[in-house]
Amino acid sequence: MSTVAECDTKSGAARRQPSERQRVLTCAVLLLIAVPLLGTLEGPGMAWDEGYTVERARKVRSWFAAVLRQPSGRYFEARSIETYWPFAREEPDGHPPAYALLALAGHIASTPFLPPLASWRLGAAAFWLATLTVTFVFFRNRLGLLPATTAVLLTAWCPRLFGHAHFALYDIPLACWWLLTFLATWKAIEAGAGSVSAGVRWSLAASAALACAAATKFTGWLIPIPLIITLPILQRHYTNKKSAPPSTSARGLLGHPFVLLAIVCLPVAIAVPETYKLVRELRRIDTSLRDQSDESGPDRRAIPRYVADQYRRHTPSTLPGWALFGVGPFLALWALYRRRITGSRRGFDGLDYLYVLIGTAPLFTLCLVPPWWPDPVQRIALFLWSNLTRRETTWIPTLFLGRIYDYALPWYNTIVWIGVGIPPLTVILAVLGFLTGWARPRSHAPALAAALSVHALTLLVVRALPTAPGHDGLRQLVPAVVFLCLLSGPAVALLQRWSGHVATAMAGLATLLSAISTVAYHPVQLSYYSEAIGGLPGAASLGLEPTYYWDALDRHALGWLNGHTSLGEGVAFSSLPLSFHYLREWGYLTAPIAPIEHVNPQWYVLLNRPGLFKARPIDSWLAKYGRPSYVRSKFGVPLILVFPIEEVDRARAQPERDSRTRASPR
């Protein structure tokens, strides 16, 4: 009896060999994605964290140059690696290096013909385009041309995703690796149903993508959760049955779910003793410094970095790092080998896929993160500790629905962000796609919708936890937004079964409105808010932050500062990320930065991010009562405000007058 997937594959055989018309339409879709993005690489201002990407990538380039020039062992010593690879160890928010390697590759390839900012951004943008191309082909072969076109265009033209795709950062690369892991996993089960070798090859591809995601950002370590949850969905879709039950004999012991779970957790579990030692040392030093609360005492948020540095240099791991780290992969690969030689004639299934993933992904990840090489167990413990204790080390207040939160937002924040940060028709199609996953699997659409939903919900649920940071709006939810937008593909496929005209009209209208929103908000798509709440003005009235990443400091704002700053004077900023130094180095900002460049400030540039005003009452007063000389706004909502320095002096005096007024009797 033919399975559902086999029937669908037979009926869609023509789609696997696209016609000339389909090829032309495919090229047109890809051009609609590539031209707007690559043509506007310098549109948004340099984002808050991009300067740190450039700084770290430059150090990595120096390391590669030194190794090629003199390939001696000293460049692989702990001290050299700490100098040249400042990743996965900078407490509290040091990310692994894969995103910077991507930016560096794009920069090296495009330096001769692109300006600096566009050159550093090219790597992430090109990777995003390549991932969308692979996704389009995947969807076209399983759902058809209209669902594939709708899904990819709504993803590429989602205003917030379009904005993030411009930056030399980690959010879009993480989303790409996550999506590629998902696609490779699907192919592993699909191809493995007919060929064991094809299943192994695609499993290795999924393992490599997963390793790159884990080497990009800590959030990538969450990907195994939806992968394991969705494996039964794929298994039933392609074989119409679950994996064979594990044997109770000694030969089949390693197929037992509890043994499998132990193997999955082993690479992380071996870091637990080191993490315990680290936390104990942190508490000891923190207790000794607790009484130093005056201004001469240390910054409490700097204590974790100090502790980690001391721990890293003076407390070597008590565990044999590389050897112990390889135990899990060895057991997993040995188990796969035993399962293959037992004479079983079943095809490659989900359990085999997990064995390949477990056997290779940890080592792939370790090879991509040189800062862990000197002592893997200890360094992974530091990485896990620094990411799981950010509530104690990171203070980024966020304005959310009229109230400022110091760290985490209410549990429903992910629902709100999806509702206000994605175009309304895209949200409707995503909900319809989610419901499609509950339909009877007569085609690829329900299985694909169910799997996409699980991947989207994973990050949404994690972000709703009280231990998750809540700043920067949708930025930390970018992978979830990608999967939600892609749910429009199964939704349109379902609509096609009901009415082709309705599906075409709905897909065309959603795509058109999303594109219009992206164009209307350019180049500050990170300030996009849904038309359902009145756009950016409506969001500001609801008490949501209009901007947060300095992307509004674009060529218009920089041009005003360059043209209105007098000789011998400079510009001061409400915050000073490293990005501004590169704007100066590359000539985008010609006005000196005060007071670092030993000039008096003529202007004070304020980022309209009300959450940060909690730490600086002066900024709050300026935003409410100050008289700016220049405002970079969108739809009447200020994003960047430039004040003469006299206004800052007036703001400093204002709180004193207010306090005297409150103290005086009526």
Beta-strand relationship, 637-644 and 403-405: unpaired
Are 403 and 544 contacting, i.e. CB atoms less than 8 angstroms apart?
no
**pLDDT tens digits, one per residue of 572-601:** 999 999 999 999 999 999 999 998 888 999
Helix, coil or strand: residue 570: strand
Q: Taking the chain, what is the end-to-end CA distance rounded to the nearest angstrom?
A: 90
* Mean pLDDT (whole number) for 98-124: 96
**pLDDT tens digits, one per residue of 179-228:** 999 999 999 999 887 788 888 899 999 999 999 999 999 999 999 999 98
Are 526 and 553 contacting, i.e. CB atoms less than 8 angstroms apart?
no
* Per-residue confidence (pLDDT) for residue 391, from 0 to 100: 75
* Mean pLDDT (whole number) for 450-465: 95
Of 500, 479, 490, 498, nearest in space to 435 by CA: 490
- What is the C-alpha to C-alpha distance for residues 418 and 480, in angstroms, rounded to an integer? 9
pLDDT at 428 over 60: yes
* Per-residue confidence (pLDDT) for residue 395, from 0 to 100: 79
* Maximum average pLDDT range among 4-13, 228-237, 243-252, 421-430: 421-430
* Residue 666 confidence class, pLDDT cut points 50, 70, 90: very low
* Per-residue confidence (pLDDT) for residue 240, from 0 to 100: 60
* Mean pLDDT (whole number) for 41-47: 96
CA-based Rg of the chain, rounded to a whole angstrom?
27
Cβ neighbours around 415 below 10 Å, total:
12
Higher pLDDT residue, 441 or 529? Answer: 529
- What is the C-alpha to C-alpha distance for residues 71 and 69, in angstroms, rounded to an integer? 6
Helix residue ranges per DSSP H, 389-423: 390-393, 413-421
Are 154 and 202 contacting, i.e. CB atoms less than 8 angstroms apart?
no
CA atoms within 13 A on the CB side of 513: 16
Higher pLDDT residue, 247 or 658? Answer: 658
**pLDDT tens digits, one per residue of 83-93:** 899 998 766 56
pLDDT at 303 over 90: no
Question: Which strands form 630-634's sheet, in the order they lie side by side?
Answer: 569-573, 600-607, 637-644, 630-634
* Mean pLDDT (whole number) for 643-655: 88
Q: Which residues make Cβ contacts (< 8 Å) with residue 420, sequence separation at least 6?
A: 529, 530, 532, 533, 539, 542, 544
- What is the C-alpha to C-alpha distance for residues 285 and 303, in angstroms, rounded to an integer? 8
* Per-residue confidence (pLDDT) for residue 250, from 0 to 100: 40
* Per-residue confidence (pLDDT) for residue 271, from 0 to 100: 66
* Mean pLDDT (whole number) for 102-108: 97
**pLDDT tens digits, one per residue of 537-568:** 999 999 999 999 999 999 999 999 999 999 98
Are 450 and 505 contacting, i.e. CB atoms less than 8 angstroms apart?
no
Are 603 and 643 contacting, i.e. CB atoms less than 8 angstroms apart?
yes
Does the bond joining 595 to the residue before it have cis omega, within 30 degrees of 0?
yes
Higher pLDDT residue, 428 or 348? Answer: 428
* Per-residue confidence (pLDDT) for residue 328, from 0 to 100: 65
pLDDT at 252 over 70: no
Lowest-confidence segment of 326-335, 377-386, 455-464 by average pLDDT: 326-335
- What is the C-alpha to C-alpha distance for residues 41 and 162, in angstroms, rounded to an integer? 11
Q: What value does the mean pLDDT of the chain take?
A: 85
- What is the C-alpha to C-alpha distance for residues 127 and 106, in angstroms, rounded to an integer? 9
* Per-residue confidence (pLDDT) for residue 258, from 0 to 100: 55
* Mean pLDDT (whole number) for 393-411: 91
Higher pLDDT residue, 161 or 193? Answer: 161
- What is the C-alpha to C-alpha distance for residues 103 and 98, in angstroms, rounded to an integer? 9
* Per-residue confidence (pLDDT) for residue 377, from 0 to 100: 79
Q: Which residues make Cβ contacts (< 8 Å) with residue 343, sequence separation at least 6?
A: none
Cβ neighbours around 225 below 10 Å, total:
15
Please give the structure tokens belonging to residue 39: 């043509």
Q: Write out the H or E segment, with its range, that includes residue 356.
A: helix 350-368
Helix residue ranges per DSSP H, 405-534: 413-421, 424-436, 444-463, 478-486, 488-498, 500-521
Helix, coil or strand: residue 593: strand
- What is the C-alpha to C-alpha distance for residues 95 and 185, in angstroms, rounded to an integer? 25
Are 644 and 629 contacting, i.e. CB atoms less than 8 angstroms apart?
yes
pLDDT at 603 over 90: yes
* Per-residue confidence (pLDDT) for residue 261, from 0 to 100: 56
What are the beta bridge partners of residue 644?
603
User: For residues 44-53, b (16+ Cβ closer than 10 Å) or e, as one string?
Assistant: bbbbbbbbbb
Helix, coil or strand: residue 151: helix
What are the beta bridge partners of residue 573?
605
Of 47, 116, 165, nearest in space to 577 by CA: 47
* Per-residue confidence (pLDDT) for residue 253, from 0 to 100: 45
* Residue 22 confidence class, pLDDT cut points 50, 70, 90: confident
Please give the structure tokens belonging to residue 473: 């709006």
pLDDT at 486 over 90: yes
Percentage of the chain modeled with pLDDT above 70: 80
pLDDT at 145 over 90: yes
* Mean pLDDT (whole number) for 9-25: 60
Q: Is the pTM of this model over 0.85?
A: yes
pLDDT at 638 over 90: yes
pLDDT at 63 over 90: yes
